[in-house]
Amino acid sequence: MKTYLTDDEFVEVFWKQLERKMTANYGASVGDKIIWSMFQEFESDVKGTLKGAMHGIEDFTGDDATHLIGYQFHKSFRQTDPIDAKYINGILWTCMQEAGIFWKAMDKACKILVSQDLAEHYKEMIEE
């Protein structure tokens, strides 16, 4: 799958999407609130994990990047324990299953990642 953002740019797009949605509180579920709170607390670990979830995107033949990146990111909290804090990985994995705002932010970031027009628009916005 062709992408138009670097790993770091993708992580920042996701982070800004989630932050914007959580700040505006678009009907955030309890799971979304827990996720956002923990993501803020462990920002470096979360961003590193999201970068790692992009592994294999160039060879991915599916139609939706979220199916690879979202799946690998979600799975990492169940299988690799990226955050070194007892129980936090399992809590985050469970909360992600029903966290609508989290998945909307992931979907939006993945759409920007694979769209040349959206990626260029994003890059223009951050340069202003």
Delimit the domains of the chain by residue range: 7-127
Within 13 A of 79's CA, how many CA atoms are on the CB side?
8
| pLDDT > 80? residue 102 | yes
Percent of the chain with pLDDT over 90: 84
Q: What is the mean pLDDT of residues 43-49?
A: 96
Cβ count near 99 (within 10 Å): 24
Q: Mean pLDDT in the chain?
A: 93
Tens digits of residue pLDDT in 51-77: 999 999 999 999 999 999 999 999 999
- Using an 8 Å Cβ cutoff, are 3 and 118 in contact? no
Residue 25 pLDDT level (bands cut at 50, 70, 90): confident
Residue 39 pLDDT level (bands cut at 50, 70, 90): very high
Measure the CA dihedral 79/81/87/88, to 10°.
-120
| pLDDT > 70? residue 128 | no
Token pair, residue 96, equals 């992600």
Q: What is the mean pLDDT of residues 73-102?
A: 92
pTM of the predicted model, to two decimals? 0.92
Helix axes 30-41, 7-24, angle to 10 degrees: 130
| pLDDT > 90? residue 91 | yes
| pLDDT > 90? residue 125 | no
